[in-house]
Amino acid sequence: MGILVGTGLVVRIVLFILIAFSVLSWTIIMFKFFQIYKANSDSERFMDFFWKSKRFDAIASQVDRFTGSPLTVLFNEGYGELGKFVEGSGKADPSILSTDLGGIENVSRALRRATNSEITRLEKYTTFLATTGSTSPFIGLFGTVWGIMTAFEGIGKTGSASLAVVAPGIAEALIATAIGLVAAIPAVMAYNHFQHKIRVLINEMDSFSTEFLNIVQRNVAGK
């Protein structure tokens, strides 16, 4: 690491930026990893509970057990909208589901809005990973180019092009590219992984919305 001692100011600034990128990207990687892991596990448990339950009010009373799941947000939104409609139409209990088709459209809009807000929540900060993955190598490359320029200036001043003179400058310059790649590679890998996981969760939310509306509509049609 003594190689860092001889670097110039520009290369040091570049290295500082890259290290900051790396620290932040790893912060986001860990945060999103736990967030998506909890969302997946809670969603799985919530769906089991949802299909086992017969009444919406029973589900609503237990929904706090699955706070990490985006499906619980959808359920709360859908159930809340259903309740508002039932209250507006003079019915006392929204779990009876004696609603008409106008109410179903409202529930559908509420579910769509909740889905969008959950997608936004899940995708929050992942753009920084994409930015780190795409720009860090270029920032590192800039540091390397600058360092090599400085090294060549030194060669011009000393008038010697021996390996002993050239090699340290180039090695100092190349460390910027190395750190750029160290920051970028995990960020790109994590970004792709999280995108896949979020897509799976979006599909689950769409499926749940459809199922929720189906249940509501079946009950309306059954009345």
Partner 1 sequence: MGVSFSISAVIHLAVFLLLLWWGQLFPTTATVQETYYVDVVNLPVANPRAGSPTQKGNDAEAPPPPQTHESPLSMPSPPQPSTKARTAPTGKAQKAEKTEKADTSSDAAFAEKMAKLESKAESQQQEAALERLRKKVKTTGSGRTGMPAGSGSEAGSDYTAYVQSRLKDAFYQTISYTSKNPEVVVHLYIDADGKVTRQKIEKSSGDRTFELSVLRAVEKAGDKLVPPPNHKVFEGTFVFKPKGISRNKL
Q: Return residues touching partner 1 (CB under 8 A).
A: 1, 19, 22-24, 26-28, 30-31, 34, 154, 157-160, 162, 164-165, 168
Shortest distance (Å) from residue 23 CB to partner 1:
5
The span from the CA of 132 to the CA of 109, in Å, is: 36
Shortest distance (Å) from residue 191 CB to partner 1:
16
The C-alpha angle with vertex 110 and arms to 106 and 116, in degrees rounded to 5, equals 145
Of 132, 127, 144, 126, give the one whose Cα is nearest residue 182: 132
Of residues 181 and 213, the one with the C-beta less far from partner 1: 181
Of residues 19 and 58, the one with the C-beta less far from partner 1: 19
The span from the CA of 158 to the CA of 130, in Å, is: 43
What values do phi and psi take at 67, rounded to 5?
A: -65, -25
Of residues 148 and 155, the one with the C-beta less far from partner 1: 155
Of residues 80 and 168, the one with the C-beta less far from partner 1: 168
Shortest distance (Å) from residue 119 CB to partner 1:
19
Shortest distance (Å) from residue 29 CB to partner 1:
8
The answer to whether 100 and 220 have CB atoms below 8 angstroms apart is: yes
